[in-house]
Structure formats: C-alpha cells, structure tokens
Amino acid sequence: MGVIGRKSGLPVEGSPASQMVALISNLGHNKDVTIEIALVTAPLPDMKIKLTTGSEDDFILDRDDLVISGTVITANPPAGSKVILIGDDDTSKFFVMDTAN
C-alpha cells in the first residue's frame, strides 16, 4: 500500500499510475485534464484504443494520439483489455497510464 500526498495521507493501493490518478482526483479538478477508462482494440506496436463518449459517436485513438507508459508497454494489454487514460486538452494527447480491471 502506498501513501499519496503528505497533507492528505490517504492510503491508496495499486500501481504508481493508479496512485497518481487517485492523487489528481483527491487534490482537485482540472478541466483541462480528463481521466477515462478505455478499451484496447489493437495491441502494441500499433495500439488503438476506443474511447466511449457516452453518445453514439465513440472514437478510436490511434498510436499517434497516444503517449504510452512503460507499465503499459511491459504489460502489452491485448485487444479487449481496459486501460486508464489521462487526456490533455492542451496537447490533444492521451496518456495511457496503466491497465484497469
């Protein structure tokens, strides 16, 4: 079990990426950054990820849209796996942080 934030002292279990997501959630909302759960439709090296928007217009992110963490590269999640994404509105990039259950 890890501990995030010296002030919060909130215990969070999981990988470093999961702890970072919890830290962002606990410290405040930033409307330029979104945290999403998405579905892998094609594995590395040409990873594609389906992002569900809640409407009929889901969209596919291809490798050019993604920055992939070492954790995800090591895990190489197969098609059908869920991953945690952090979307950055300023750069229009999505950071694939970890796998999700």
pLDDT, tens digit only, all 101 positions of the chain: 444 444 445 566 777 777 777 776 666 656 678 888 999 999 999 999 999 877 777 889 999 999 999 999 999 999 999 999 998 877 888 999 999 98
Find out whether 84 and 40 touch, Cβ atoms under 8 Å. no
CATH of domain 30-100: 2.40.50
3-state secondary structure of 17: helix
pTM, to two decimals: 0.69
pLDDT confidence of residue 53: 73
C-alpha Rg value of the chain to the nearest Å:
14
pLDDT confidence of residue 9: 54
Domain ranges of the chain: 30-100
Rounded CA-CA distance 66/47 in Å is 8
pLDDT confidence of residue 30: 60
Residue type, 18: S
